[in-house]
Amino acid sequence: MRSQGHVRFIKITSRLQMTVAGLVALLLLGWAISMGVMAISQWRASAERASLLDREVKVATAESRVNAYRDNLEEATEDLARRQDFIESVLPMLPDDVRPDETVSDSTDETARTIEKVSAAIPEAAGLAKLEARQIAFVEKLTRYADRRAEKAEEAMRKLGLNPASITATRRGLGGPLVKLSTAHDGSLDPRFARLGASLERMNALEQSLSSIPQVMPADHNAISSGFGYRRDPFTGAAAMHSGLDFGGGYGAPIHAAAQGKVSFVGRRSGYGKVVEISHGNGLMTRYAHMSRWKAKVGQKVAPGDIIGAIGSTGRSTGPHLHFEVRINGRAVNPRPFLETAPHVLEEARAINEETDGSASE
């Protein structure tokens, strides 16, 4: 310490320093422990309160529903009926002329007898029996509607020379939440609900397949220069199989996707030059060859008519043109019936469905 020109020294022994440091460390440790204990206590109290509130909410909800069913079965029935009204209102697709047939059950008589018996044995549950009859009738009618649309899709496919069975076979085993929602508390499944799930899946598979059928000319239809089948090879002069259609056109003219799908290949193939391939599902694929450039990427989703490239003369080609193929499970088929017939067939199928939906909404 400096004072009036004099310097004085105060010596602190190492023992004293260690003692002071120990006291400070003990104080800090005690403070940390107390804060930790408080935090843990607060967390436990908060967790216990949250758990208690959660249990109270669950008990209150369960008890309220039990009391609602016990004290006022009529009101509970009205609640369920309003739910059924909502379900039917959001699906205004069922026409009045969907009648019972041999392939779908008709439970009208059985449900009528059930209502009569329940009303006699348990009068207060008569409303629930009537609601069950409404639900079963709705399920069976929706099943018939799905079957009708599936039949129209199958008819359209046959007109195009396709086998509907091969289309639906590739989609077997698919399910959805509808079956789970119809499962009873004992794990059993009402066969009418299972039948509905199968019919909706079949309808969906067939209609999706219809939308993926080649239906748009990939290039100018007036410029078809070579058809499908055997022809004289332009290079060797010998007979050879031509596995597609050739569309003549100017260099750089646009090439369009023939149907909706996903681009599965963009690159070069021997003899084809620059190629784009589009997968349409269910083993159906279209190939566009001899391109001058690509305008698509692998994995890209395309709609009918989208531009995917430009006409060129790459690969084994004598001049600018598009070589277009349709393949089913790897086997080349004649594209002409699809391109010439599909638009009309698909338009008829859509018109029938729109007419059906329209009559239902009225």
Place of tokens 């393949």: 327
Q: What is the pLDDT along the chain (362 residues), one digit of tens a residue?
A: 676 677 777 777 888 788 888 888 888 888 788 777 777 766 675 566 556 555 544 444 445 444 545 556 776 677 667 767 766 665 655 655 555 555 677 777 887 887 788 778 778 777 877 887 888 888 888 888 888 888 888 888 887 777 777 665 554 444 444 444 444 445 556 777 778 888 888 888 888 787 788 888 999 877 788 888 888 878 888 888 889 999 988 999 999 999 999 999 999 999 999 999 999 887 889 999 999 999 999 999 999 999 999 999 999 998 999 999 999 888 998 888 888 877 777 676 666 555 555 544 44
Report H helices in the chain. 14-71, 73-89, 108-121, 126-159, 164-169, 177-181, 191-211, 336-361
For 169-272, where are the E strands, in sequence order? Answer: 224-226, 229-232, 239-242, 245-248, 254-256, 261-269
pTM higher than 0.75 for the full model? no
- Exposure letters 217-241 (e unless 16+ CB within 10 A, then b): bbbeeebbebebeeeeeeeeeeeee
